Amino acid sequence: MDTRQKIVTRAVKEIKSGMNVNLGIGIPTLVANAIPANYNVLLQSENGLLGIGPYPTEDIVDPDLINAGKETVTVVPGASFFDSAESFAMIRGGHIDLAILGGMEVSEAGDLANWMIPGKMVKGMGGAMDLVVGAKRVIVVMEHVNKNGESKIKKQCELPLTGKGVVHRLITDLAVFDFTEKGMQLIELAEGVTLEEVKKKTAASFNVALAQ
């Protein structure tokens, strides 16, 4: 599996049947295609859609059906459409069980930066700032290092923050971390990855809490 697919395969294990789930832009959107068919899960998009299905094949693309990242999607039976005010009322009202978001940087304190890089054009902050405080649980999925080989898991985020201390779990292509009162905890290593490799590629300080 390629790097992104490894992350998606691990992330889908966080979804339980009966959940209302919001998938962020980027790697999180790929999770929609990996959810087991027998799961009763409703995927929500902050642009006003509850009941997102898998990505469409070319023969069924509908340009009017898009997610928050402006990608075409399908809908499941019983899906509903509504305006942004209703959508954000769902998020701010605590009705989203799980938000799976992409990340540019995550700090050892569970801070998240994922909405802009200074000097680069951005279309807007999107719904991430609402999701990180409104969703019951926030999971960030991202590659462990950037294109230059630098760690994206920092002691402190250098990019503008989306939220402080908002990440519950971080899933990368190398490892899984939890953020608790005891600090940042390494709880899993990806297959074939060593603890030494994770330490070398992680700028943040963390405790090792691997299952025996």
Query: Catalytic residue among 46, 108, 143, 181, which?
Result: 46
Q: Supply the DSSP symbol for 204.
A: S
Q: Which residues lie below 8 Å from residue 182, measured CB to CB, with a gap of 6+?
A: 207
Closest Cα partner for 101 from 117, 84, 113? 113
CB 55 within 8 A of CB 34: no
Q: Calculate the alpha carbon distances from 210 to 32, 176, 188, 206 in Å.
A: 28, 10, 6, 12
Distance (Å, rounded) from C-alpha 179 to C-alpha 168? Answer: 5
The one-letter code for the residue type at 105 is E
Active site residue 108: no
Phi-psi region of 106 (alpha: psi -120 to 50; beta: other; left: phi over 0): beta
The sheet with strand 42-45 has its strands ordered as 75-81, 49-52, 42-45, 20-23, 98-102, 138-141, 169-171, 175-180, 183-189, 207-208
Residues designated as active site: 46
